[in-house]
Amino acid sequence: LGGKVLVDLRKKNIQPLAFVDNDYTKWGQSIDGLQVLSPQEGAKRFHNTAAFIVTIWSPHHSYLQTKQQLQNINCSKVVPVAALFWKCPDVLLPHYHFDLPHKILEQSSDVKKTFELLSDEESRRQFVAQIRWRILLDFSGLPVPSPQDQYFPADIISFLSSEVFVDCGAFIGDTIRSFLKRTGAIFKKIVAFEPDPNTFEKLLEFLSTLDKKKVIALNCAVGRWRDKVHFDALGALGSSINDGGSIEVDCISLDEKLVDDIPTFLKFDIEGAELDALVGAQHLIRRA
């Protein structure tokens, strides 16, 4: 995400001062012409003259913890990246679930209808907290994420022996591992899409342990239609389609690719490209 922000800010002729990273292996390096500093060095140089914008993008990351870390070394202004998104929406928005807060208010009727569709108290609590956060950016109001199975909660999802699992954004096969555990490795087919070439190699290494007749892995992105797209290949969580991406990758639609395979479970974790992928799978979904 930091790389995307850098590229997009430069489009507005805004030049960030440096990257600050906890990873000591990056200290002293340069990323796209911008130096990488340790938090201590960043604080020493810029603690009261610059805003430290937290661009860490990870499901396990706590913005409040990072904010506290930087404040403990005298960084006077620490803000979440979403605040920068609001400041520069012309180049930074929409991105993933981020957009301007007034757009949520404009959809208040749909928000209320969605709330009514939720049947359990935990889902409603999480939903309200997320809506509040997207309007106010109040991180203190976010509940701790539930540690339960993200994709296959046992009280909701049950499986048949004929499952066709389509994993878009398969990463290194972490969700496929969960799928195999839940199904007892009894399934009809797995189709995995992963556009990052570095991550794809690790995915193939894992999938090679499975029945090759039942598993297909494709090194491409999914979207509305067949195309070439620029991609930030980070070799880690957060790799994404990005106009300023470092490489070009193939992109296909599920409608085109899965002509003979009707999925029983579609999983998307593709860093903001979910809507395009759904549009590109609309005929497939109707057939299912």
Residues 127 and 209 in one domain: no
Comparing CA positions, the residue from 154, 165, 265, 266 lying closest to residue 207 is 165
Domain that holds residue 46: 2-92
Residues 274 and 185 in one domain: yes
DSSP string over 33-94: TEEEE-HHHHHHHHTTTS-EEE----TT--HHHHHHHHHHTT-S-EEEHHHHHHHSHHHH-S
Residues 196 and 283 in one domain: yes
CATH of the domain at 267: 3.40.50.150
Pairing of strands 247-252, 78-80: unpaired
pLDDT number for residue 214: 96
The residues facing 234 across adjacent strands are none
Residues 17 and 117 in one domain: no
Confidence grade of residue 271 (pLDDT, cut at 50, 70, 90): confident
Comparing CA positions, the residue from 277, 273, 278, 280 lying closest to residue 95 is 273
Cβ neighbours of 200 (radius 10 Å): 23
Query: For 101-121, how does the pLDDT look when each residue is reduced to its tens digit (9 = 90+)?
Result: 999 999 999 999 999 999 989
Query: For 17-42, how does the pLDDT look when each residue is reduced to its tens digit (9 = 90+)?
Result: 999 999 999 999 999 999 999 999 99
Q: Kindly report whether the global pTM for this prediction surpasses the value 0.75.
A: no
Residues 183 and 215 in one domain: yes
Q: With respect to residue 150, please indicate whether it lies within any of the assigned structural domains.
A: no
Maximum Cα–Cα distance for the chain, whole Å? Answer: 60
CB 233 within 8 A of CB 198: yes
Q: How many domains does the chain have?
A: 3
Q: With respect to residue 198, please indicate whether it lies within any of the assigned structural domains.
A: yes
Q: Rounded mean pLDDT of 190-219?
A: 95
pLDDT number for residue 138: 92
Distance between CA 19 and CA 4 in Å, rounded? Answer: 12
pLDDT at 238 over 60: no
pLDDT number for residue 125: 93
Give the single-character DSSP code of 150.
Answer: S
Structure tokens that stand for 96 in this block: 């993933």
Q: With respect to residue 151, please indicate whether it lies within any of the assigned structural domains.
A: no
